[in-house]
Amino acid sequence: MELVPIDPDAGDDHPLLRRAAERLRAGGLVAFPTETVYGLGAHALDEAAVARIYAAKGRPAHNPVIVHVADAQAARAVVAEWTPHAELLARRFWPGPLTLVLPKGADVPASVVAGLAKVGVRVPAHPLALALLRAARVPVAAPSANRSNEVSPTTARHVVESLEGADVLVLDGGACSVGIESTVVDVSGPRPVLLRPGGVARDELERALGVPIATVEEVRDDAPRAAPGMLKKHYSTRAPLATTPHGDLAALRARLLRAPTPRAALVFESAARELRGEPLVVAMPDDPRAYARRLYAALRELDARAPALIVVESPPPGVAWDALRDRLSRAAAGADDAAG
C-alpha cells in the first residue's frame, strides 16, 4: 500500500498520474477519488487484474463491478448496445454520479459483471479520475475502495484503513464531494429500472427521460438475485446500527438509553440539542447533499469509538433522501435486535 497526495487538477501529464496509469495497464490496483466515493481500480479487460479487486476487497463473486470510462464514446466501446435512454441520460448526467447498465460488450470479462449479460458503466465527475482514465487509455473496473460490506471510503485515509495490507497505489485527491455512491439504472430495455438509488435522484432521471422508472423489489440475501450485489445487509459499521423515525425524540432517546455504554447517535441538529450530555453524538445537516457528503465519515468516526450501538435518526420523507434512506436501512439490516 502506497499513499500519494496529488492535486486533483494536476493534469494528464503529471508524473504520478502517468505512473498510476502505467500500473493500471500492467494489471495493478490503483485507488482513486471520484465525486461519489473512492474507487479501487483495475484494468477492466484484464481478468487477472479484476481478480485482484475481488481478492483485495474480499468481495463475493456474484457482485458485479462498475466499469469507469473517460467519456460516452469510451462507454459505447464496452457495451453491445447503446439505447436511446442511455443516450439521453449520458448527455444529461455524465460526467456524474450515474451508472448505466447495458448489454455487455464482448471484450468485457465475465468476472467484471459476475457472469451477467449486462455491464454497468459510468463517467465520473472528478478531474483526477478523468485524467487517470484518459492516461490509462483502458476502461477501469472500480468498486468502492473498501473491504466488502463496509462503509464506502470518502477520503484516502478511509481507503488505507479499509484495505490495509493490500498491494494498492492510493491517489489522495482529497474528500469526495457527493459522498454516496452513484445511482445505478438499467437502460437496456424499453422501461428503465432503478437498481440502486444514489447521487442522482429518481425524479431527476424521470424528468430527463420523460418516462417513469421502475424499481426492483429488494432481494433477500438468500434468494435468487434480481438486482445483483444489492445485499440487504451492506454498507455496514462494525457496531450494530439501529434507526428511529425522523423527528421522534422519545423513540430516539428510548432506543439510545436502552443500549449499554459507550453508545453513539447520528441525528439532526434539533435532536442533537436534546441529547446534550451524551458523549458520542454527531449532528447532521438538514440539507440532503450536505448530509450525503458527511455521512460515511461520520459513521466511521463513531464506529472507531467501538460503541455498543449507533442509533441513527432516519432522514425525512422525500425523494431527495431516497439514497440516504437506502444506505442507512442496509446498514441497519439485521442489527435492530442487537446490543439491547
Return the C-alpha cell found at 49.
Answer: 487484474
Q: Which is nearer to ligand TXA, 184 or 213 (CB)?
A: 184
Would you count residue 183 as binding Mg ion (CB under 5 A)? no
Least distance in Å: CB of 113 to ligand TXA?
5
β-strands 2-5, 29-32: how paired?
unpaired
Would you count residue 153 as binding ligand TXA (CB under 6 A)? no
Return the C-alpha cell found at 283.
Answer: 449532528
Q: Which is nearer to ligand TXA, 60 or 245 (CB)?
A: 60
Would you count residue 142 as binding ligand TXA (CB under 6 A)? yes
CB burial readout 167-188, b (16+ within 10 A) else e: ebbbbbbebbbbbbbbbbbbbb
48, exposed or middle or buried, with CB in 10 Å at 0-12, 13-18, 19+?
exposed
* Among 205, 194, 158, 198, residue whose Cα is nearest residue 292: 198
Return the C-alpha cell found at 199.
Answer: 447521487
Which range of residues in 138-146, 256-264, 269-277, 325-333 is near Mg ion by CB under 5 A?
138-146
Least distance in Å: CB of 296 to Mg ion?
11
* Among 309, 301, 316, residue whose Cα is nearest residue 331: 309
**Mask of contacts with ligand TXA, 187-226, x by CB under 6 A?**
--------xx------------------------------
Interacting residue with Mg ion among 144, 237, 244, 314 (CB under 5 A):
144
Q: Which is nearer to Mg ion, 65 or 259 (CB)?
A: 65
Q: Which partner, Mg ion, ligand TXA, none, binds residue 184 by CB below 5 to 8 Å per kind?
A: ligand TXA
Query: Helices in 42-147 by DSSP H: which ranges?
Result: 47-57, 72-76, 84-93, 127-136
Helices (H), strands (E): how many in the chain? 11, 15
Q: Which partner, ligand TXA, Mg ion, none, binds residue 182 by CB below 5 to 8 Å per kind?
A: ligand TXA
Please give the residue ranges that form the binding site for ligand TXA (CB under 6 A). Answer: 34, 36-37, 39, 63-66, 97, 99, 101, 113, 116, 118-120, 122, 124, 142-144, 181-182, 184, 195-196, 228-230
